[in-house]
Amino acid sequence: MDIKKEKSKSFWAGFLTGAASIGLLITICAVGAIIGQARLYSSVAGNNPFSNELSEFFGYTLPQQQTQQSSSVDGGKLITDDIVKKSDEIYDIIEQAFLFEDDIDRDKIEEAIYDGIFSALGDKYSVYYTKEEFADYLSESEGIYYGIGAYVQIDDATKYPLLTEVFEGSPAEKAGLRSGDIIVAADGTDLNGMELSAAVALIKGPENTNVVLTVHREGVENFDVTATRGKVVIPTVTHEMLENNIGYIKLREFDDITYSQYCEAYQDLKDQGMKSLIIDLRNNPGGNLSTVVDICGEIVPAGVITYTVDKYGNREDFKSDGKNEIDIPLVVLVNGYSASASELMTGAIRDYNKGTIIGTNTFGKGIVQRLLYLSDESGIKITTERYYTPNGECIHGVGIKPDIEIEFDSDLYYSDAAIDNQLQKAIDYLNGK
């Protein structure tokens, strides 16, 4: 009895040590893909803690007002003596009475405590990551992965993973998966209500291994698809010249390399005689703040592109010098999965009247997360600021309403005609101008 009591005390002492020590080895400010969207692949590139798919502000320190406070709730310790006593009592009972004693995993219990702290915040964008999860999260921008090649997020209505984009030539496309498919199960495991990272972990995996996905598609009975995981290389920018010298640029997300890819695409279209431009931000979950600011600097006039405000009222402006302001007609395509940094870009173009927005209402994520290493190289993602459009609007929970609203016609797109009716609307609009 006394030995078990000492074991439980040592467990909670270890938890207290881990919970109290936050080491700011590096921080990353993120407007990006934090709508609960993830890539369905696992990284095989080098683990570089100084790069990820989000915005990078190195040397960041917590606001002065915050550092002067204790790491506490209501002025006291988060883990009080009463909590420690009660936790010891619960763990002692578990060790004495729990039927499946061999299944007790102290590490999992500890990780669940950290998860619970963030779960209790009621903010789906604030998350705790284990060391392994954080390393994987940070390394995903290296560009080469193994998986099925799709973007996924948790569908609010069904609580199942939803494919928001399937990459051309990917294992997912070869298996017949489509954007809009809901993944009900992976290898027989029901995915309902799972955290996104847990669901994705069941779908991604090593090269040349198979995963059986149970798929729900509107108007069709649930069916199984076998996808063979493979190497996935992600182009963040694609472009082509459409009829009547209308340039088309698709931005899938805002990674470190996206700005240079955008500039190359824009210059190529310009060299071909581009007279107007369509920028497609549909299904773009966001990404690197500095990247979207740089791209906006190639479009909008001199002035504020966006600004952020933290809980203390501290404001930071991100500006364009106006030297490369676009001078041709522009259309921006958006939908309900255009989120965060893509909404930031849409808002700046709208507020400066530099383009016409076509599609459906955007997602509505107007808050910023920062990524912080903890002392044991695990990490957290925590909401720290709101961001605003140049005219001072925070679009969080609201999104951006297009100038011209038109729903995507999936039946037409997947028919023999294969017509993207939203893109066609943009083409017709520019031809009319």
Q: Which residues are catalytic?
A: 340, 351, 365
Q: Which residues contact 69 (CB under 8 A, 6 or more apart)?
A: none
Give CA torsion, residues 220, 222, 223, 229, to 10 deg: 110
Q: Which of 121, 202, 155 is nearest to 337 (CA)?
A: 155
CA 307 to centroid of chain Cα atoms: 20
Give CA torsion, residues 244, 247, 248, 254, to 10 deg: -170
The neighbouring-strand residues paired with 217 are 220
Q: Token pair of 234, please?
A: 């992600």
Please report where in the chains the tokens 């080469």 appear, as a residue. Answer: 144
Q: Token pair of 424, please?
A: 């066609």
The neighbouring-strand residues paired with 381 are 127, 371
Q: Which of 427, 19, 432 is nearest to 247 (CA)?
A: 427
Residue 254 DSSP label? B
- Residue-wise DSSP of 101-136: GGG--HHHHHHHHHHHHHHTTT-TT-EEE-HHHHHH
Within 10 A of 268 (CB to CB), how many other CB atoms are there?
15
* Cβ–Cβ < 8 Å for 148, 227: yes
Please report where in the chains the tokens 């002067």 appear, as a residue. Answer: 68
